[in-house]
Chains A and B, each alone.
Chain A
Amino acid sequence: MHIRDLTIKKFNEGLTNKEFTALEMTKEIFDHIENKEPEIGAFISLNKEEAFLQAEKADIKIAKDEPVELLAGVPLAIKDNMLIDGLPATAGSKMLENYKASYDATVIKKLKAADAVFLGKTNMDEFAMGSSTETSAFKLTRNPHDLERVPGGSSGGSAASVAANMAVAGLGSDTGGSIRQPAGFCGVVGLKPTYGAVSRHGLIAMASSLDQIGTFTKTAEDAAILFKTIAGRDKFDATSAPEADKYGDELLAPKLEDIKGLTVGLPEEYFIDGIEPPVAKAVERAIEHIKSLGIKFKKIKLPHTKYALSCYYIIMPAEVSSNLARFDGIRYGDVSAVDKKLKSLSELYKENRSHGFGAEVKRRVILGTFVLSSGYYDAYYAKAQKARALIKKDFDEAFKDVDVILTPTSPTTAFKFGEKMNDPLSMYLSDIFTIPANMAGLPAISIPVKGSEGLPVGFQLIGKHWREADILGIGQYYERLHY
């Protein structure tokens, strides 16, 4: 089987039917990575030797005819803000250039228990702050569909690696769209689960009331497999909820009659003039296609949508300024080029943070410090928390009428390098359709529109809390339709 055709599902079939070994496939993927990496730039570090050992471990179980998990031997790409014991975890920042993780994130522990293989750590916007992967301190990642364009961000490396067949699937994190937007740009499936479904223990925190770990895959079916493996309550993440242990088999084997019975809402606030015509056309086509399954559609309103961006860019930097206070350069590896012989601790902090952080991180830390500061707190932060409650209420109301909401993932297709780097506000606008799901803690998925010409276009399905089964179910039946 060619690695281009590999999905988690097909990998498992091939492996258990002994058509190939996990080691053979892992070696083949590393050969492909060696060829492609100079062009794509998806990885910050590779984990070759360890990956071969992990693959062999899966192969031994297969040789002994022991039962294995669906992810056994599957080569995965992991965003570089998740900790794998002993491996670098830079979060795309010079601040952590020399840091090596001291433990496994909970998602990594679960994947190790399933005998998955970790190919390496993928490139990302610095501390996940960006929508193009251009704020990475280390390298550019190029969109496999057009090397002159960005892969989206912040999980651009994971998205590009799956799109370029440099990994069978991958993990990312999504605070305001950092999985769904790059998935849309790169033509792969990106799932952001319900807030509280997947433990963030061992994820380098950006904005804790919004962050969620999720998946990059080639199919919605694979997304269901990978998500079910990493979901679950964890006592090391106080926000992970008991519902996270209750996901059933409907994730992996949705019934057509259940899916047909769903009603999909189309919010008028998401179908606006600012959408590029090719995106609007492609999403329209996806809607027609989904209708052919027998699913009903309904127009709905989410009236506070226009406030989501402002609300997000107050709440997120506030949390960023607090979460990133721990990066002082004295605990998580050395910050290069800083004179350690400074007179005071305070000076050392300043030197380390000024050398370690890039411009976008500094901008958000300062913005967050401002909105939380005495005299401005009520006007900005408290106001934004109230606006957030209204945005969530919009969804609560809409979900009384519909089961799933469909929108474009982004207003545009992948843009060119440098196009938005000098204007932060225009960069922020590329997340307008993905932010609201984070604000309300809802599960959402980006699925590539089938048969679209030119650059990939994604459409987004937003589900009710804990109803990943609905959005993954529509996704699975959509991808089985012949175009």
Chain B
Amino acid sequence: MADINKKSLEHLADLARLKLETGEEEKFLKDLGNILDHFKELQELNTDEIQPMTGGTSLKSVMRGDEIFEEDHYIDADKIRDQFPEHQAGHLKVPPVFE
């Protein structure tokens, strides 16, 4: 099994929108290496005929009816917008998406 190296760690951090400091990088490489080593025990397990368990329940995914809830469960949109650090005229304000 391939371990995580410095280059792949940087790539993973970029995918996860994280920046790692130099000291942090070294510590993560060591910790993740130990953790992945521990995972090797799973390889000895024969899982050829096993159906994966894809969630925490045996409930089947069902579509609910397209009905309006009558109860008062709506969240005031202003309360949500109030939590935006930057907003203008009721809109979320962010730096440009395209450079």
User: A: which residues have CB within 8 A of B?
Assistant: 98-100, 102-103, 195-196, 208-210, 235-236, 238-239, 241, 304, 306-307, 309-311, 313-314, 321, 328-335, 340, 342-351, 353-354, 357, 359, 362-363, 365-367, 369-370, 373, 376, 379-380, 382-390, 392, 424-425, 428, 438, 441
Cα–Cα, bound, A98→B57 (Å): 35
B68 contacts chain A at the CB level, 8 A cutoff: no
Minimal beta-carbon separation of B49 from chain A (angstroms): 9
Cα–Cα, bound, A389→B59 (Å): 15
Known: A209-B55, A340-B85. A383 touches B18 (CB 8 A): no
Cα–Cα, bound, A335→B82 (Å): 15
Q: Of all chain A residues, which has the CB nearest B51?
A: A389
Cα–Cα, bound, A242→B4 (Å): 43
B42 contacts chain A at the CB level, 8 A cutoff: yes
Minimal beta-carbon separation of A19 from chain B (angstroms): 37
- Contact of A331 with B83 in the complex, beta carbons under 8 Å: yes
- Contact of A387 with B47 in the complex, beta carbons under 8 Å: yes
Query: Which 5 residue pairs of A and B lie closest in terms of their CB atoms, listed nearest first?
Result: A385-B52, A386-B47, A102-B79, A209-B56, A334-B85
Of A311, A351, A357, chain B has the most CB atoms within 10 Å of the CB of: A311
Please report whether the interface of chain B is mostly helix, strand, loop or mixed according to DSSP. loop
Q: Which residue of B17, B20, B50, B73 is within 8 Å of A386 (Cβ)?
A: B50
Cα–Cα, bound, A365→B61 (Å): 27
Q: Which residue of B17, B56, B61, B99 is within 8 Å of A350 (Cβ)?
A: B17
Known: A195-B57, A314-B39, A366-B18. A342 touches B12 (CB 8 A): no
Residue interface bits B32-57, CB-to-A below 8 A is 1, else 0: 10110011011101010011111111
- Contact of B95 with A342 in the complex, beta carbons under 8 Å: yes
Q: A103-B75, A348-B95, A389-B53 are in contact. List 14 more A-B contacts (CB 8 A).
A: A102-B76, A195-B56, A196-B56, A209-B54, A238-B61, A239-B56, A330-B86, A344-B97, A353-B18, A354-B18, A380-B39, A385-B54, A390-B45, A424-B34
B1 contacts chain A at the CB level, 8 A cutoff: yes
- Contact of A345 with B96 in the complex, beta carbons under 8 Å: yes
Q: CB-CB < 8 A to A330: which residues of B? A: 84-86, 92, 94
Minimal beta-carbon separation of A350 from chain B (angstroms): 5
Q: Of all chain A residues, which has the CB nearest B48?
A: A386
Cα–Cα, bound, A269→B73 (Å): 47
Known: A209-B55, A307-B41, A366-B9. A235 touches B94 (CB 8 A): no
- Contact of A354 with B19 in the complex, beta carbons under 8 Å: yes
Please report whether the interface of chain A is mostly helix, strand, loop or mixed according to DSSP. helix
Q: CB-CB < 8 A to A438: which residues of B? A: 56
- Contact of B17 with A349 in the complex, beta carbons under 8 Å: yes
Known: A103-B79, A367-B32, A425-B38. A441 touches B18 (CB 8 A): no
Q: CB-CB < 8 A to A103: which residues of B? A: 75, 79
Q: Of all chain B residues, which has the CB nearest A352?
A: B17
Known: A330-B84, A366-B12, A425-B34. A390 touches B79 (CB 8 A): no
Q: List 10 A-B contacts (CB under 8 A).
A: A100-B83, A102-B83, A235-B69, A238-B61, A329-B85, A343-B99, A344-B97, A359-B27, A363-B28, A383-B47
B89 contacts chain A at the CB level, 8 A cutoff: no
Cα–Cα, bound, A61→B38 (Å): 57
Q: Of all chain B residues, which has the CB nearest A317?
A: B35
- Contact of A235 with B64 in the complex, beta carbons under 8 Å: yes
Q: CB-CB < 8 A to A241: which residues of B? A: 57, 59
Q: Of all chain B residues, which has the CB nearest A332?
A: B83
Q: CB-CB < 8 A to A321: which residues of B? A: 16
Cα–Cα, bound, A310→B39 (Å): 5
- Contact of A362 with B56 in the complex, beta carbons under 8 Å: no
Q: CB-CB < 8 A to B19: which residues of A? A: 350-351, 354
Q: Which residue of B8, B51, B85 is within 8 Å of A333 (Cβ)?
A: B85
Known: A236-B73, A369-B15. A386 touches B52 (CB 8 A): yes
Cα–Cα, bound, A344→B97 (Å): 6
B66 contacts chain A at the CB level, 8 A cutoff: no
Q: CB-CB < 8 A to A350: which residues of B? A: 17-19
